[in-house]
Amino acid sequence: MNERVRGARAVAVTIGLFGTIWALPALALPDKCQSELAKRSAMFHAKVANALQKCGDAIRREQAKNLVKAGSGFLVTAAHLCQKELNRIFDFPNVLGGKSERQKFFDAVDKAFTSGTTPKCSVSDLEWQGLMHSGTGGLGFAPPAGVNPWDFAKVWLAVMQVQRALDGQLAVQADFLSRLQEVIAAPPKSPGTSVSTAATNCTLPVSCDPRTTLGCRPDLCRFRPPCFRQGCALGGSSNAQFAQPGVSESYTAQGLLPLTVCSLAGWGYPFGGLGEGVLVGGSPSRTLVPVPIPNTSGLGIGGSTACIDVIRTMGYCACAPPFTGAATDFDVCRDHLEGSGVACSGSAVTGSSAADSAHSGTTNSATFVQPTGAGVSNDCVVWATLRLTVVASGNEGPDGAACTPDDFNPTTVMVATPLTTGAAGGSIQDAVVTPGTCSGSSTSCIEDANCPSGQTCTSPSPSFGTLSSGPLTGSPISGACANIVANQLSGISLVGVLPIVDLANTTASGVTDTIVGLTLTCP
């Protein structure tokens, strides 16, 4: 056995044992944590959805009365019911004394992290689920949120459930938000001298008591969609840079930059409620135009089409403290041979190491993220899960278009990485320049563990190097931070680096380590 491989295996065993012993106290049972957060999120969503449905039903009921007999329905009656339902969820004037459904959700999440000698959740569990939190290393580069490191994730979950419930209500009552404006503007029901018959007065302070003050309906007056899906046509320096051992090529990126921006200002959340920042969170979108890789390319995917889909995003844009000051520069690293002695700096995202897809017996390292720097107003950071799909020429399927459901044998990889208005760089340590071959057989290998028993990876031995990309430099939006809420994304440039181990070739058999650097710019 060659000395490099023997030493690598010994170090791998040592680090593996130490990592297992060290990780146990910090990590609860991630399945139990995920189940608990999913259950609590579903319960909160159900409460919000039920409140919106009851509000919508009340509006329709009063409208239906007028259809049967003009003047018999009163939208102000619906306004009163809508306020009661929304007050149970948000309770802006705090007349419920901390018993709103939102506060119950927050309390349940806090309890999951603090109750008992072995809580159901730990901060490490959030990383298993890909949830950003406040802290250092890994996904801990969210802004300081409240007093707990999980507060950022807690608020993000709550906002997403409110938006999800509203999306469901709009799906069955497309004019729901329009009708809310009508009930707010509705005249009183004579004589209008009770809280249920008086016209809504949105000029009253949010602290007014809706149980006793005529016209006081703060939850109704303040209700709005928390999130808006935004986008801009990519331009300027937008590109996708592909790097493989000995090859580096750049291609123009076209399409739309998808951002779902959620404003916290005025919502009464424990942080961000005064406009210190906004959340950025989205669901699957295909807005980037497929990138054709020409046959003349030196990459192992020449003649194919590459598609990059956004599967999920979670992040923020900073306006003022506490959102400003968090890390905005990131170095992303993977080691193709975990435990080889070549170390990636930073904190690994827990649980992300994986078996090598091409060489049985080899384990690739976790993705290491080293956050540095301090964001200023207008800076944005988004933890993005992206899907890279490569379709070889001739495999586009009957529709003739790549990256559609009828493609033949597409290569698909999922990568999670920070996209930032700061700086992004990345590397693959022990990137395979040329694989080796096992002694006594034709089996491709990168270490002895890939070979049949008794054989070594020495005929010839593999060669390795460091594959790097960046640093790429992003930029914040132009002008005031509030522009991003107003869908004025001009000037924003998000950059990120995707280290991909073992990307399947389309021009020949085998796989090639690849780094993709993304620059997505709104001109």
Q: How far apart are CA 406 and CA 396, in angstroms?
A: 7
Indicate whether 97 pLDDT > 90: no
- Among residues 411, 304, 328, the alpha carbon closest in space to that of 376 is found at 328
Could you tell me where the beta strands, DSSP code E, fall in 366-410? 368-372, 380-392
State which of 172, 190, 222 marks the end of a domain.
222
Task: Please indicate, yes or no, if residue 20 is contained in any of the structural domains.
Answer: no
> Once rounded to an integer, what is the mean pLDDT over residues 6-16?
35
61 and 163 in a single domain? The answer is yes
50-64, 226-240, 431-445, 473-487: least confident range: 473-487
Q: Residue 135 is part of which domain span?
A: 30-222
In 393-459, where do the E strands start and end? 411-420, 423-434, 436-437, 444-445
Same structural domain, 240 and 114: no
Residue 440 belongs to some domain of the structure: no
- Collapse the DSSP code of 33 into the 3-class scheme (helix H, G, I; strand E, B; otherwise coil) and give the result: helix
Q: Cis before residue 435, ω within 30 degrees of 0?
A: no
Mean pLDDT of the chain: 89
Same domain, 255 and 374: yes
Average pLDDT over residues 195-213: 96
Residue in 418, 353, 411 with CA at minimum distance from that of residue 387: 411
Angle at 378 between CA 373 and CA 382, to 5 degrees: 65
Do residue 331 and residue 478 come from a single domain? yes
- Phi and psi torsions of 24, nearest 5°: -60, -45
Total domains in the chain come to 2
- Whole-angstrom CA distances from 473 to 194, 222, 315 are 60, 38, 18
Q: What percent of the chain has pLDDT above 90?
A: 70
Residue 478: band (very low, low, confident or very high) from pLDDT cuts 50, 70, 90: confident
Measured distance CA(341)–CA(362) in Å, rounded: 14
Assigned token pair, 272: 């961000």
Q: How many CB atoms lie within 10 A of CB 12?
A: 20
Q: Is 307 in contact with 364 (CB distance < 8 Å)? A: no
pLDDT > 80? residue 522: yes
Can you tell me the mean pLDDT for 139-165?
92
| Same domain flag for 111 and 188 | yes
pLDDT, mean of residues 387-406: 92
Q: Beta strands 423-434 and 329-335: pairing type?
A: parallel
Of the candidates 103, 431, 72, the residue with the CA atom closest to the CA atom of residue 267: 103
Helix (H) and strand (E) counts for the chain? 8, 20
Indicate the pTM of the whole model. Answer: 0.89
pLDDT at 346: 79
Token output for 436 = 């080796």
Percent of the chain with pLDDT strictly greater than 70: 95
- Arithmetic mean of pLDDT, 124-136: 88
For residue 257, list its beta bridge partners: 232
Domain shared by 208 and 309, yes or no: no
**pLDDT score of 450:** 95
Tell me which of 195, 222, 249 is where a domain ends. Answer: 222
Q: Tens digit of pLDDT for each residue in 259-311?
A: 999 999 989 888 888 889 999 988 899 999 999 999 999 999 999 999 999 99
Q: Are residues 257 and 332 in the same domain?
A: yes
Say yes or no: 489 and 511 in one domain: yes
Q: Provide mean pLDDT across the span 36-47.
A: 98
Cis peptide before 471 (omega within 30 of 0): yes
**pLDDT reported for residue 28:** 52
**Strand 380-392 to 411-420 pairing:** antiparallel
Report whether pLDDT(16) > 60.
no
Q: Name the least confident of 302-316, 347-361, 447-461.
A: 347-361
- 424 within domain boundaries: yes
Is 25 within a domain? Answer: no
Q: Are residues 187 and 305 in the same domain?
A: no
Residue 112 belongs to a domain: yes
Q: Is residue 8 part of a domain?
A: no
334 membership: H or E segment, kind and range: strand 329-335
158 and 52 in one domain? yes
pLDDT-derived band at 18, boundaries 50, 70, 90:
very low
| Alpha-carbon 241 to chain mean position | 22
d(CA 167, CA 412) in angstroms, rounded, equals 30
What's the residue count for the chain?
523
269/415 same-domain check: yes
The alpha carbons of the chain give a radius of gyration, in whole angstroms, of 27
Average pLDDT value for residue range 206-211: 94
Q: Say yes or no to pLDDT of 9 above 50.
A: no
pLDDT at 25: 39
Please tell me whether residues 201 and 232 are part of one structural domain.
no
Q: So what's the pLDDT on residue 147?
A: 84
